[in-house]
Structure 1
Amino acid sequence: MSTHLDDAALLSAELLARRWLPRQHPKVKRALIDADLWAATQERLAQVGLRLIDNLYADHVSVALLRPAETAVFGEAGLNSHNNIDLPRDAVSLLVLLWALIVLPKRERQAARAASIDKHGEGDTQNDMFGKDKPVPTAASVSPLVSYRALLADFGVQLGKKTRLDTNLKRLENHGFIVRKGEDITEGPLLDLLLDYDVLAPRILQGALGDVLAQAKELQASLPLALTQPALAETDDGPEDTAPEENQGEA
C-alpha cells in the first residue's frame, strides 16, 4: 500500500492529531483559498464520518462528526443527552454562560468594526473563499475577557461556589472551550466553533439568561459585571461545597 500522503490527507491527519488548527496555519490558509483542497479535505474526513468545520468569526478550524455518524457513535441515549463529552449539567450551564459573555459581544464588535472599515474604505475583501464583502476582525482582537473573581461574585452561588466552579472551568479549558490567563478567562479555540450561534443565540437572548443580560445592560449600558469590571475582592463562600445540587438546571 502506498504511503504517499497528499495535502488533503496531511491536513486531515494534523486536524485529527491536534483537534484544531489556527486559520493562519499554512495548510489551513491554503485550504481556505483553494476550493479543490477544501473539497478534497472534506471528502477525506467524510470517509471516517467527520467534517471540517470553519467559522468566519473564529480564529481556528476543527472537525466534528457528520450527522449520519452521530447515532452510530453516540446512540440514541447520547443524542438525547445535554452534551456528548460527558460534561455535568453545571459545567454545561457554565459553558453556555461563558459563551454568552464572550461570543455574543465578540460577534457584535466584529460586525461593528467590519461595518466601520467598510464605511471608511479600509480594505476590500477577505483573502479566503469564505470571506464576506466586509473584512471581519480576528476573534483575538475583539474577544472580551471575563474576570474570574467577578464571575465567582456574580454567578458563584448558581454554579456551585468556588470549588465546583474551579473544577468545571478546568474541564472547559481541557476541552478547548476557554483559555485561562491568570485571573482572566478568554475564548478558547472551540468556543465559537462547536456551539451553533444561529441556534444558541436566539435561545439565550429570548430566554432567562437574556433577561439577566438585559437587566445588567440597563444598569451598566453594557454586559454583566463579569464582562466589564476588574477583579473584585475574593468572595467568602464559607465552607466549600464538593458538588452542586443534583438537579441543577441547564442555562
Structure 2
Amino acid sequence: MDNALAILSARLIAHRFIPRSDPLARRALVDEDFRRALEHRLNEVGLTLLENPYAEHMAVGLMGEMEAFVFGEGEAWLSNNMNLPRDAIALLVVLWALIILPKRERQVARAEKEREGQSDMFGAEKPLVQGEEVSVGVPEEALYADYRDKLGGKGRLNINLGQLARLGFIERRNKVILEGPLLDLMLDYSTLAPRVIEGALGEVLKRRAEEAVQPTPD
C-alpha cells in the first residue's frame, strides 16, 4: 500500500489532477482504508483531497487551516496562489456559474429521478452522471458580448481565458469554452452556489436564461 500511496500522492501533487478512471484514483474511491491513508498522507503536508461524484477528475487543494500561512503575508492576503489577477478570478467565477451551476442542476435532477425508479437493492451505488454528457460550453462571442465591458474588454478577456485554460480550469475548442479538469473541483460548490444564486450574478444569469427561451421575432 505504501508504494501505491506514494505514487498517487506524487502524481496528484505534480500533475495537480488525475482522472477518476485512473486505476489508483479508482482504488481511492472504492477502498476506504486506502482513501483514509491517502488523505492522511496529504494532510501531513497541509493538503487535502478534492473530489466529488459529479466531477471526472480528482485533485489536491490547500487545507483550510493552512490558508493563513500560505495566503497571509503580514497585513496582506493573497487571493490565490496561481498569480491570477482580480479580473481573471472574476471571469473564473462567471464561467463556473455558466458551466457548473446548470450542469450540477441537471446531474442532481437526473440522479434523483434514477434513484426514484430503482428497484434493486444495489441501485444507490451506481455512479452519478458525469462529464460532457451534461456539461455545456459557452461560446466565446457570447461571453465577450455579455461581459466585455465588465471584465476589461475583449483583449483582456482573451488573455485571462488563455491563463485559465493553461491552469486547467477551462478548455477552448472551436471558439467554445468548455469545462476543464479543475473547474468543478477548485471552487467549493456548497459555498459559492448560494452566493452566486442569491447575489448580483444570479440576476444576470436569470435574465440570460429568460432571454434564451423567448421566441425570436419574425
TM over 0.5: yes
Conserved? CA contact 1:78–1:84, under 8 Å: no
Confirm or deny that 1:126 pairs with 2:118: no
Q: Cα RMSD (Å) of the superposition? A: 2.2
Aligned match of 1:147: 139
- 2:53 aligned with 1:56, yes or no? yes
* Equivalence for 1:31: 28
Deviation at 1:78, TM superposition (A): 8.8
Distance 1:169 1:67, change over 3 A: same
Change (3 A) 1:122 1:98: farther
CA distance in 2, matches of 1:174, 1:110: 27
Q: Show the 5 A alignment for 1:35-184.
A: 35-76=32-73, 80-121=77-118, 124-126=123-125, 135-184=127-176
Find the residue that maps to 1:179 and give its secondary structure.
strand
Tell me the amino acid that sits aligned with residue 47 of structure 2: L
- The alpha-carbon distance between structure 1 residues 116 and 30, as it changes in their structure 2 partners (threshold 3 A), is same
Where 1:125 maps in the other structure, the secondary structure is: helix
CA distance in 1, matches of 2:143, 2:178: 12
Which has the larger displacement, 83-92 or 189-198? 83-92
1 CA distance for matches of 2:97 and 2:129?
A: 19
Bigger RCO of structures 1 and 2 (CA < 8 A, at least 6 apart): 1
Separation in 2, partners of 1:24, 1:86 = 30
2-structure distance, mates of 1:198, 1:205: 11
C-alpha distance in 1, partners of 2:161/2:63?
28
Specify whether residues 37 and 104 from structure 1 end up closer, same or farther in structure 2 by C-alpha distance, changes over 3 A only: same
% identical equivalent positions: 47
Residue 76 of structure 1 and its aligned partner are, at CA, apart by 4.4
Alpha-carbon distance, 1:46 to partner: 1.7
Q: C-alpha separation between the residues in 2 aligned to 1:206 and 1:53?
A: 25
Instruction: Indicate the residue corresponding to 1:15 in structure 2.
Output: 12
1:202 aligns with 2:202: no
Q: Whole-Å Cα distance in 1 between the matches of residues 20 and 76 of structure 2?
A: 30
Q: Distance in 1 between matches of 2:55 and 2:15?
A: 17
- What SS does the corresponding residue of 2:72 show, helix, strand or coil? helix
Q: Is 1:216 paired with 2:215? A: no
Question: For structure 1, which segment, 108-117 or 186-195, has the greater mean C-alpha deviation from structure 2 after superposition?
Answer: 108-117
Number of residue pairs aligned between Structure 1 and Structure 2:
212
Q: Is 2:182 the counterpart of 1:190?
A: yes
CA positional deviation for 1:111: 1.1
Quote how far apart the aligned CAs of 1:212 are: 0.8
1:38 is displaced (CA, Å) by 0.5
How many angstroms apart in 2 are the aligned matches of 1:193 and 1:79? 26
Q: Aligned pair in 2 of structure 1 residues 61, 105: CA closer, same or farther (>3 Å)?
A: same
* 1:219 CA displacement: 2.8
Q: Residues 180-207 of structure 1, C-alpha deviation per residue, up to 9 Å, x if partnerless?
A: 1121111111111110111111111111
Q: 1:77 to 1:148 in 2, by over 3 A?
A: farther
CA distance in 1, matches of 2:188, 2:47: 17
Secondary structure at 1:57's aligned position in 2? coil
**Which consecutive residues of structure 1, in runs of 5 or more, have no partner in the other structure?**
128-134, 223-251
Contact kept in structure 1, 2:72 and 2:78, CA below 8 Å: no
TM-score by length of 1: 0.78
Note if contact 1:71-1:79 (Cα within 8 Å) is conserved in structure 2: no
CA distance in 1, matches of 2:76, 2:50: 19
- Provide Cα deviations, 1:63-93, integer angstroms capped at 9, x if missing partner: 1122232222232459834333221111111
Deviations 1:176-235 (A, max 9, x none): 11011121111111111110111111111111111111222233349xxxxxxxxxxxxx
